[in-house]
Structure 1
Amino acid sequence: MSTDDDALREERQAAALRRVADLGAERARHLKAADDLLEPLGKAVGDAARLNAPRRRTQELAQVGSGLFYQWLKDAGIDVRPKKSRPERISDE
């Protein structure tokens, strides 16, 4: 392999690593921005629930899982029924 080939390979690697670094930094910014939205989103969920907005629709619009959604309701002092326990499975043994 010639020196020119080595230099070209190194330039391509450097460019690829710069692209990875740029995208990684952008992802980190987005994750931070999303994390910063959790508190106000949780408060908005509580406000909607206090106004008797449909819970299912509120959760859909918040785009969060049920665990976090119901934790926000509890944190807001809103009554949440206890989670149903799963029935035990009967084995075939």
Structure 2
Amino acid sequence: MGKLFGTNGVRGVFSEDFTLEFVHDLVLAISTYFKEGRILVGYDGRDSSVVVSKLVCSTLNYAGLDCHLAGLIPTPCLEFATKT
């Protein structure tokens, strides 16, 4: 695997470039950056999106953060939801 982060997040093909264990470990590492506050996680229509987003949110909750799933949502709508 080459470059991990692209211009808009982690890039790669799920189950080829990264696994659920990798996602869990990455999210735990990222969670140390956030001290408090709510986090809203949304996803797109890819087959792996539901599983990955649920893992992301549950891992953030495990780390003591207040994470909520927005579900299938366009990026501009998710951004708007975080600002209102």
Give the TM bin, normalised by the shorter chain. 0.3 to 0.5
Say which structure, 1 or 2, has more relative contact order (CA 8 Å, 6+ apart): 2
Which structure has greater strand proportion?
Answer: 2
Which structure has greater helix proportion?
Answer: 1
Structure (1 or 2) with the larger CA radius of gyration: 1
TM-score by length of 2: 0.33
